[in-house]
Structure 1
Amino acid sequence: MEYRTFLVKTLEDAAHIARDRFGKVSSTTKVGDPTQVVTEADIEIGSMIVEAIQQTYPTHNIIDEETGSVDNRSPYTWVVDPIDGTSNFAQASPLYGCMLGLLREHEPVAGGFALPAFHEIDTAERGQGAYCNQQRLQVQDGKDLCSVLISYGIEGNQSDPMSTRSECELFTELVLACRGVQTSGSVFDAAMTAKGVYGGFLYRDCKIWDNVAQHIVLEEAGVLYTDFFGQPIDYRHPLTKATTPFGFCAAPPAVHGQLQQMIATWKKQSAWAFEK
């Protein structure tokens, strides 16, 4: 089934709303997590995307970060992040995006994201390649970690500050090992990785809606996309996993292997942090 036309149209509509609301929104923090921000634009975009899915694919399941889940007992599940990088968006930073991905059972099969401020839409379907607008995306492999920029997303764990301090030890080693570390805290970094501007993108603590759309785009662009520790990501029974951690490590195979060596060393040295 061809999904690209639907993805492009829906993401264009989402980007239009985001640009129209940019710099004009108020924000609140989510109950129980002061690091998570939501705006009225998140709700508006999420509702628009959910409605578009229900009109076009009425039998499919839906997971939307803000409005919850729709269970139609389908093998297909759309995963929606209306605004990824809401903290940036709320402060009028252009480093945010809108994400929409599709799982068939446990496999990402289609997806895309919009960077509204840059008028960019990246899409992919399984086996058909990844595209930025009309341009094919294909990263180069074989580079060394020391020669590339790496994006690393990190958020403070207020309930377990020692975990964050431990993760900062890994962050320090990464800073020393690569050409530079960037962080937007949003899908902007996935777009840079799909283009080969960044040599990799890591995030230890995120959610399913942060993953599915960029997963398929990056894989189709030639990036190896695993969980944070190098294992296949478990998307089985996605409707039950709204609160499940979904960290990731995404890089072309050569750099991915070097990142995993570094992560394995850090995990061994910080074994206490994984015994809880």
Structure 2
Amino acid sequence: MDYQNFLLKTLTAAAQIARDRFGNVSSARKCGDPTQMVTEADREISSMMIAEIQRTYPTHNILDEEAGIFDNSSAYTWVIDPIDGTSNFAQSSPLYGCMIGLLKDHEPVAGGFALPAFHEIYTAEKGKGAYCNQQRVWVQDDQELLSALIAYGIEKGQGDSQRTRKECELLAEIILACGSVHTSGSVFDAAMVAKGVYGGFLYRNCKIWDNVAQHLLLEEAGALYTDFFGQPIDYSHPLTKATETFHFCAAPPAFHRQLQQIISTWKVKGAC
């Protein structure tokens, strides 16, 4: 099935809502997770995306960060993050995006994201390549990690300050092994990998809606997309995974291999 037009239309509409709201929003901390924020723009984009899916694909399931679960007992599940990088958005930083991805059973088959501040729409379908504003994009093909810019998302662990300190030890090893480390804490970093600007993107503390759209797109752009330790990501029974913690390592094959060597050494030391 061709999802390209649907992704372009829906993400274009989401981007316009975000731009209209940008710089003029109120935000609140989410109940149960003071590290996460929500704005009225999150809810407006969520409602729009859900309505578009229900109109176009009425039998499909939906898992939305803000609105929750819509279970139609389908093999297809749309996974939505209305605004990825809400903290950035709420503080008027342009480094945020809108994400929507589609799973068939446990496999990502379509997805995309918008970077509203940059007027960029990224889309991909399995086996059809990755595109930015309908132009093909590819990851870097360099071999030496030392020359690469790497994105690493890190957040303060709830009630686990020691884990955060240990993770910073790994971050130091990656910094020493690459050209430089950058972070937006959002899908902006995935876009930079897809366009060949960054050589990788890693995150240890995220959710299923942070993964599905960018997973498929980065693979179609030529990256390997695994969990943080190099294993396949488990998307089986996605509607049961709303509260599960996910993690990922996404990079072109040569960089992915070198990053996994660093992570493996860190893990053997018992630091994780």
Asked whether the two chains share a fold, i.e. TM above 0.5, the reply is yes
In 2, are the aligned partners of 1:166 and 1:270 still within 8 Å (CA)? no
In 2, are the aligned partners of 1:142 and 1:253 still within 8 Å (CA)? no
Report the counterpart of residue 209 of structure 2 in structure 1: 209
Report the counterpart of residue 174 of structure 2 in structure 1: 174
Q: In structure 2, how many angstroms separate the alpha carbons of the residues matched to 1:270 and 1:34? A: 29
User: Which AA in structure 2 matches 1:9?
Assistant: K
2:90 aligned with 1:90, yes or no?
Answer: yes
Q: In structure 2, how many angstroms separate the alpha carbons of the residues matched to 1:185 and 1:142? A: 24
Q: What secondary structure, in the 3-state scheme, does the structure 1 residue paired with 2:82 have? A: strand
Q: What secondary structure, in the 3-state scheme, does the structure 1 residue paired with 2:246 have? A: coil
Q: In structure 1, how many angstroms separate the alpha carbons of the residues matched to 2:12 and 2:140? A: 28
Report the counterpart of residue 256 of structure 1 in structure 2: 256
Q: What secondary structure, in the 3-state scheme, does the structure 2 residue paired with 1:247 have? A: strand
User: Which AA in structure 2 matches 1:114?
Assistant: A
Structure 1 residue 267: Cα displacement: 1.0
Structure 1 residue 41: Cα displacement: 0.5
Report the counterpart of residue 190 of structure 2 in structure 1: 190
Structure 1 residue 140: Cα displacement: 3.3
Q: In structure 1, how many angstroms separate the alpha carbons of the residues matched to 2:45 and 2:10? A: 10
Q: In structure 2, how many angstroms separate the alpha carbons of the residues matched to 1:93 and 1:252? A: 28
User: Which AA in structure 2 matches 1:245?
Assistant: T
Identity level (%): 74
Q: In structure 1, how many angstroms separate the alpha carbons of the residues matched to 2:94 and 2:142? A: 32
Deviations 1:14-37 (A, max 9, x none): 000000000000000011221101
TM-score w.r.t. structure 1 length?
A: 0.97
For residues 80-159 of structure 1, the aligned pairs below 5 Å read 80-159=80-159
Report the counterpart of residue 231 of structure 2 in structure 1: 231
Q: In structure 1, how many angstroms separate the alpha carbons of the residues matched to 2:185 and 2:225? A: 18
Structure 1, gaps ≥5 residues long: none
Q: What secondary structure, in the 3-state scheme, does the structure 2 residue paired with 1:201 have? A: strand
Q: In structure 1, how many angstroms separate the alpha carbons of the residues matched to 2:220 and 2:158? A: 36
Structure 2, gaps ≥5 residues long: none
Q: In structure 2, how many angstroms separate the alpha carbons of the residues matched to 1:67 and 1:52? A: 14
Q: In structure 2, how many angstroms separate the alpha carbons of the residues matched to 1:119 and 1:12? A: 9
In 2, are the aligned partners of 1:137 and 1:194 still within 8 Å (CA)? yes
Deviations 1:162-200 (A, max 9, x none): 111110000111111110000000000000000010000
Q: In structure 2, how many angstroms separate the alpha carbons of the residues matched to 1:145 and 1:154? A: 20
Report the counterpart of residue 70 of structure 1 in structure 2: 70
Report the counterpart of residue 222 of structure 2 in structure 1: 222
In 1, are the aligned partners of 2:64 and 2:81 still within 8 Å (CA)? yes
Q: In structure 2, how many angstroms separate the alpha carbons of the residues matched to 1:50 and 1:214? A: 19
Q: What secondary structure, in the 3-state scheme, does the structure 2 residue paired with 1:204 have? A: strand
Q: In structure 2, how many angstroms separate the alpha carbons of the residues matched to 1:29 and 1:75? A: 33
Deviations 1:191-246 (A, max 9, x none): 00000100000001100000000001100000000000000000000000001111
User: Which AA in structure 2 matches 1:111?
Assistant: G
Structure 1 residue 158: Cα displacement: 2.5
Q: In structure 1, how many angstroms separate the alpha carbons of the residues matched to 2:58 and 2:132? A: 28
Report the counterpart of residue 270 of structure 1 in structure 2: 270
Deviations 1:104-137 (A, max 9, x none): 0000000000000000000000000000002101
Structure 1 residue 142: Cα displacement: 4.1
Cα RMSD (Å): 0.8
Deviations 1:227-272 (A, max 9, x none): 000000000000000011110000000000000000011111125x
User: Which AA in structure 2 matches 1:119?
Assistant: H
